[in-house]
Structure 1
């Protein structure tokens, strides 16, 4: 009977994935037009432009919008694998394939003892809430690497280390997967892989690390937590600008440098908390690795001066890995991230004009979305601390059996 119920649940899961992904593909292939700005232009225009440069054997040295580590060249060049399709259509199909890989990874351990299909449901239901952005950025490919790394971590630390390093050279943030890694083999494999790949890219393609200097003069991106200062400030006389700067819509003007510095300070505080947690953690379970990674990425996401919609793809993937363990206590933060994903599609692309204009509706969307992410980060950090650092009170001793009184013997 239990096997029959599990089979039905899996059938519903797969049916939901097929339907939602078919809808996403129809949107990115523009069979139907998704309301708001066209999110696919990043692929058809920006990625395609980088592709033309990268295929010549060099990185886009004159393009300050190229702000990615060297391995990011691989997903940009990946449409070469499907030469019978146009560049954009090939990219969307490969993003769809990465989505399927994530589902397969979550389903594989989902049938084992101690594992659950909850994680797969988080991915299947959460990712499409972001709309076509999921397939119109290469973040879903990075997320697939990160999910594979975390699921390999408990049994194969070297594999986890190598995948983490590869992911970090795709888009930096996967380095945070090591937040909960305690085995030296994971760290050693990550260091060796990162060094080898970095050397390979440096020798083979000029400008592999030019991206490090392309973000010096960035402002505060309009969707970030710090941007709320300026959204509200515009209603009280703040005079600044909202411009396309370094590939994103940012605030530029008075006090932007101070808010950006404050965001950097908060990121430093988040790093300090993670370091303290590592030093104080006294209990670790198989799911601790995933929970630490989820918490770390949440903390660094909400404190960043850039909080683009595609960042939610990372968080949904990591939340899904956490909930693939029955014992995980990250259910509430995961639901907050899923809810934040739905609000995200309301602000981008549906309501992005309201966000750029800082009108009441746009500010409300950002307050709700960023508020959910802050609440998720705080809740995840608190639960991680309680489950690994806070001493467990000793179980009460059973009451001693009552002693029988000796009955005096009459003489």
Structure 2
């Protein structure tokens, strides 16, 4: 074993130990009472272990493959009746394994990525992001679809479009948001004249979705898509970019603004909410359509010059797509930042630093100063908009650095 290999194994071991200690401390801190999403997970897993059929016998707000990480504590313990504290402990251990698996795939991608951080640097920054995600990583399941998305990205880099499609389809059935990444990967293959690869991507995506959804449709009496109605009925969440702007408009008199808790989150009540909710989906489609057109144009120019398409451009477009979706969404839950992890660690150092600041500010928004947003204060509104403005700034900086938009005076 070389010195380099030995030091790397020590780095992995040190990270695993750090994650273990971190997970234990977070479990001790959070598991004293049943609250938040973990309470929902525990309820769903308990009903599944009792033999009840999701979507038919009880309401589920998540896509079908999301049930896998939720029920895992019961499968590990072989117990059908777990109290909340035991369930939370086992769920934390499962999250730890997911974090380690994510790190392994990150390192595999880094080997094929030009100008990637060194393995030590990559693991250190990854660990830092996990620590900055303290209140919305271990206690949510978003790392699961993020890992599936990272596996899809890795498969594309390896020239395995069918496998990429399969991983992407599984990610869609776990969280739904990765569906917006399918057109991006499709454009990447089509512009590069890889027509068979584009068909393989679609086939893999469709096949994996069908294998998950069809059995659940049969079991649930065609109620598996009820979770879509649940999210359609949600209002404008107070952490969203649009809610932040509306609160800024009412900043001179915040007594005109209030919030209400329903559908598992706090939503904004203020003048202008209803028109904004109607505009946001169209705003996303318009901006996303423009991004895809710009992406196709850039790739065609690269292909004419070199006969190949750039994986770096693919990374930029995948990340930009997620940022646009988050910015224009009516919901901006803290765990949405986990969706960015498959891609942000391969950015330039300055951009990674900006992402780190976004993670830090999100911690301040939730949970540190969240009461000042639930009952809006000037400080809470300014903090939220500062975070959201930085997310928009990251998108603009990303496109400028890639040369996709002209550099302005700043």
Into which bin does the TM-score normalised by the smaller protein fall? 0.7 to 0.9
Tell me if the contact between 1:277 and 1:385 (Cα under 8 Å) persists in the aligned partners.
no
Relative to structure 1, the CA distance from residue 236 to residue 165 in structure 2 (aligned partners, 3 Å threshold; closer, same or farther) is same
Comparing 51-60 and 208-217, the one that deviates more: 51-60
**Equivalent residue runs for 1:301-320 within 5 Å:** 301-320=326-345
2:53 matched residue in structure 1 = 58
8 Å CA contact retained: 1:161, 1:186: yes
Distance 1:278 1:286, change over 3 A: closer
In structure 2, what is the equivalent of residue 18 of structure 1? 17
Aligned residue in 1 for 2:193:
none
Which of 238, 242, 246 pairs up with 2:259? Answer: 242
Are 2:225 and 1:209 aligned? yes
Q: Which of 53, 72, 77 lines up with 1:78 in the alignment?
A: 72
Displacement after TM superposition at 1:163 (Å): 0.3
State which of 182, 198, 201 in structure 1 corresponds to 2:213.
198
How far has the Cα of 1:10 moved from its partner?
A: 7.1
Instruction: Using the TM superposition, give the Cα deviation of residue 44 of structure 1 relative to its aligned residue in structure 2, in angstroms.
Output: 4.2
SS at match of 1:67: coil
Whether 1:177 aligns to 2:158 is no
C-alpha contact (below 8 Å) 2:316/2:399 kept by paired residues: no
Alignment partners' CA distance in 1, 2:377 and 2:113: 51
Q: In the aligned structure 2, how far is the partner of 1:344 from the partner of 1:74?
A: 28
| Worse-matched range after superposition: 145-154 or 188-197 | 188-197
How far apart are the structure 2 equivalents of 1:235 and 1:13? 52
- The answer on whether the counterparts of 1:39 and 1:349 sit within 8 Å (CA) in structure 2 is no
For residues 178-236 of structure 1, what are the alpha-carbon distances to aligned partners after superposition, in whole Å with 9 as ceiling and x for unaligned?
A: 31341312122112222332212211334211112113332111111011134331542
Contact 1:355 1:363 in 2 (8 A): yes
Residue aligning to 2:381: 363
Structure 2 partner of 1:400? none
Give the superposition deviation at 1:16.
4.9
TM-score computed with the length of structure 1 as normaliser: 0.81
CA distance in 1 between counterparts of 2:283 and 2:351 reads 20
Give, in angstroms, the shift of residue 367 of structure 1. 1.8
Decide which of 161, 166, 169 is 1:162's aligned counterpart: 166
| 8 Å Cα contact 1:130/1:345 also seen in 2 | yes
CA contact (8 A) 2:370 2:380 kept: yes
Does 2:25 match 1:27? yes
SS class of match (2:311): coil
Distance 2:66 2:333 in 1: 17
Q: Higher helix proportion, which one?
A: 2
Q: Indicate if the aligned counterparts of 1:223 and 1:366 stay in contact, CA closer than 8 A.
A: yes
- Structure-2 residue corresponding to 1:402: none
Larger mean CA deviation between 95-104 and 349-358 belongs to 349-358
Structure 1 residue 177: Cα displacement? 3.1
- CA–CA distance in structure 2, aligned partners of residues 172 and 380 of structure 1: 24
CA distance in 1 between partners of 2:254 and 2:369 (Å): 23
Unaligned ranges ≥5, structure 2: 190-196, 303-308
Q: Aligned to 1:244, what secondary structure does the other structure show?
A: strand
**Which structure would you say has the larger Rg?**
1
The CA RMSD measured in Å over matched residues stands at 2.9
1:122 aligned to which of 125, 132, 137: 125
Contact 1:53 1:60 in 2 (8 A): no
CA distance in 2, matches of 1:54, 1:285: 45
Q: How far does residue 301 in structure 1 lie from its aligned partner after superposition? A: 0.9
| Distance verdict in 2 for CA 1:10–1:359, change over 3 Å | farther
Asked which structure has the greater RCO (Cα within 8 Å, sep 6+), the reply is 1
Cα distance, 1:61 vs. partner? 5.3
How far, CA to CA, are the matches of 2:15 and 2:176 in structure 1? Answer: 31
Q: How many aligned residue pairs are there?
A: 373
User: Are 2:266 and 1:267 equivalent residues in the alignment?
Assistant: no
What whole-Å deviation, never above 9, does each CA across 1:229-279 have from its counterpart, x for those lacking one? 343315425634311111111113432111222322321222212331243
